Amino acid sequence: MITAEQKPVEEIRRMIAPYKRILVLGCGSCVAECAAGGEKETAMLASALRMAARMNNEDVIIEEMTLDRQCVMEFVIQLDKAIDPYDAVLSLGCGAGVQAVADMVPEVPIIPGLNTEFLGETKAQGVWAETCLGCGDCMLYHFGGICPLARCSKQILNGPCGGSVDGRCEVNPDIPCAWQLIIDRLDKFGAVDRLEEIYPPKDWSTKQGGGPRKIIREDQQK
């Protein structure tokens, strides 16, 4: 999933300062899972902004609404009937959600309330870890389901650097050595011979070398 963290409230207040009628727009998908922009976080931020406005004698209207997903047109279209009273939207979606809302509602400024961080997984309650770079050419088969690009601090593709200690990364001992994990995993499957292949430097053209990427599935189109 896409992870994000809320921007500092003071930074948000500076961005919304020119506006008098603001809709705080949450997203019930990825950023809800990582407790950054779901319905609960949207209500809490809107309340904090209203309180700050009252303390500073600011005449503003701040209300909230949460969409199931900000990055899907079928959900964003719900704003058509709700957007008129507002002169700005504070989006608590990821970067893709902010831009999707901006495309759908070009007449109103869409302000990001989150910093989008990385593609990752929920490791435990309140803990999210980066596990994917979205490179466009997945090599997880070769590395036992563990991505050395995302999880090795040096992004090494052809074996460990030799600096790890007791299975911990030499860059940061709090991080498991990705290559130790890869070797242990492949050994468990009897597939260590996959590492005998020499992998060339990553072809980053599959990531964004040709500009913003797009997936088109004609079988999914109406």
Query: Mind listing the pLDDT tens digit for each residue in 74-124?
Result: 999 999 989 999 999 999 999 999 999 999 999 999 999 999 999 999 988
The domain boundary residue, chosen from 83, 118, 153: 118
Q: pLDDT value at position 102? A: 96
pTM for the whole structure: 0.86
In a domain, 218, yes or no: no
Say whether both 44 and 78 belong to one domain.
Answer: yes
**Which residues are 67's β-sheet partners?**
27
Cα torsion angle, 141, 142, 144, 150, sign:
negative
- Kindly report the CATH number assigned to the domain that includes residue 81: 3.40.50.2300
Say whether both 145 and 105 belong to one domain.
Answer: no
What pLDDT, in 10s, does the model give residues 130-147?
A: 999 988 889 999 999 999
DSSP 214: -
User: Between 95 and 218, whose confidence is greater?
Assistant: 95
Distances (CA, A) of 83 to 18, 43, 110, 215: 17, 18, 11, 30
What pLDDT, in 10s, does the model give residues 189-211?
A: 999 999 999 999 888 777 766 67
Q: pLDDT value at position 210? A: 67
Say whether both 110 and 145 belong to one domain.
Answer: no
Amino acid of residue 215: I
Say whether both 113 and 171 belong to one domain.
Answer: no
DSSP 4-59: EEEPPHHHHHHHHTT-SEEEEEEESSHHHHTTSSSHHHHHHHHHHHHHHHHHTT--
Say whether both 107 and 171 belong to one domain.
Answer: no
Say whether both 71 and 139 belong to one domain.
Answer: no
Say whether both 110 and 7 belong to one domain.
Answer: yes
Say whether both 79 and 144 belong to one domain.
Answer: no
Say whether both 22 and 84 belong to one domain.
Answer: yes
User: How many angstroms separate the CA atoms of 158 and 162, rounded?
Assistant: 12
In a domain, 212, yes or no: no
Q: Which domain holds residue 196?
A: 135-206
- Residue pair 182/146 in contact (Cβ under 8 Å)? The answer is yes
The pLDDT-based confidence of 215 (bands split at 50, 70, 90) is confident
What rounded mean pLDDT belongs to the chain? Answer: 93
Number of domain units in the chain: 2
The pLDDT-based confidence of 11 (bands split at 50, 70, 90) is very high
Q: pLDDT value at position 28? A: 97
Say whether both 96 and 21 belong to one domain.
Answer: yes
* Whether pLDDT at 213 is above 70: no
